A and B are shown apart, each in its own frame.
Chain A
Amino acid sequence: MTASLIQVEFLKALYAFLKVSAMIVLIVTPIITIMELLRSFHLLDPLVTPLHRLFAWMRIRKESVAALFVGIIFGIAYGGGVLLEEKRSGALNRRDALLVGVFLSLSHALIEDTFLFVAVGADLLVVLFSRILLTILVLLSLRLFAPPERE
């Protein structure tokens, strides 16, 4: 391969890299900024009660719903941290751990990670909804095969 061809390869990669970097700064920075504000000032806390109702079909405890919600929005490290505390204190039962584990495995950091790939050029709607749909389908089938115990 000649020297100029190698140069062309590197320039092409550099150009693509700068383009993606610019998109990340333009798209991801404002998203992280908003996330940071929401998290630091607990602005999403009032949503936990209505969400508990939304997740009622999963039949999990309200505390688990709160942690799950944090994980879905901010990422597995944050939601997981809260859940680890609960696990240590013995508040998290096996069934909650399984359901939250399935949900968080498939759907977490739904905003930041999704927009990261949008910055690279992925289709927002396809990427976001295929993930949410898949999570719901898996959880519904789990409910079918492992129905919740009666209280």
Chain B
Amino acid sequence: MKDHQVRLNGIGPLLWIGIKKGLRSSLGIIKVMFPVTLAVTVLKLTPVLGWLAEGFRPFMGLMGLRGETALPYILGSVLNLYVAIGAMIPLGLTSRETTILATVLLISHSLLVETAVIKGIGAPWFGLLLMRVGAGFFMGLVLSWVL
């Protein structure tokens, strides 16, 4: 009885609240990913993805990535990482490609929302926006050379 009470008043309920929030966040991420994965799978069956890949191959190639990865790169840069991951799934990337794209995207992502925050705190937002995109690309170059 006492044991039970200690647990109730201690870490137990807090942990439960945390786990529930954790699960809710994970499911939220998965829900965002699903329609994007579906859409990119459909796109793969049309010639559109091929055209896109062709156009971006010179640029993505500098980072050791295939042209198709321009899709998750652009979506992640403008929107967010969940959308980018949803778009990565149907492409069947190797672990090297996944690591490079992940690094580039982690440095430079959700630029619409996050640049607004940076602007809000009074930092030179346009310079920092260019710096992020440039730094991501630079790390992509370095990793394609190192890995």
Contact = CB atoms under 8 A, between A and B. Distances in A.
Contacts of A148: none
Contacts of A131: 103, 106-107, 139
B135 A29 contact: no
Interface in B128-147: 128, 131-132, 135, 138-139, 142-143, 147
A4 interface: no
A36 B22 contact: yes
B41 A9 contact: yes
- B-side binding surface: helix, strand, loop or mixed? helix
A17 B33 contact: yes
- Interface residues on chain B, size class: 35 or more
A56 interface: no
A51 interface: no
Contacts of A10: 41
Given A37-B18, A87-B120, A101-B123, A25 B131 contact: no
A31 B21 CA distance: 11
A97 interface: yes
Nearest to B138: A134
B121 A101 contact: yes
Contact of B123 (A25, A100, A130): A100
A9 B45 contact: yes
- Interface residues on chain A, size class: 35 or more
Interface in B25-46: 25-26, 29-30, 33-34, 37-38, 40-41, 44-45
Nearest to A37: B18
Given A30-B22, A84-B117, A113-B81, A123 B135 contact: no
14 contacts: A13-B37, A17-B34, A28-B26, A32-B22, A40-B18, A84-B120, A87-B122, A101-B125, A106-B131, A117-B106, A121-B95, A122-B98, A123-B95, A126-B143
Interface of A: 1, 6, 9-10, 12-13, 16-17, 20-21, 24-25, 28-34, 36-37, 40-41, 76-77, 80, 83-84, 86-87, 92, 94, 97-98, 100-102, 104-106, 108, 113-114, 116-117, 120-123, 126-127, 130-131, 134, 138
Please provide the 6 A-B residue pairs with the shortest distance between their CB atoms, ordered closest to farther.
A101-B123, A33-B22, A122-B102, A117-B102, A80-B117, A32-B22
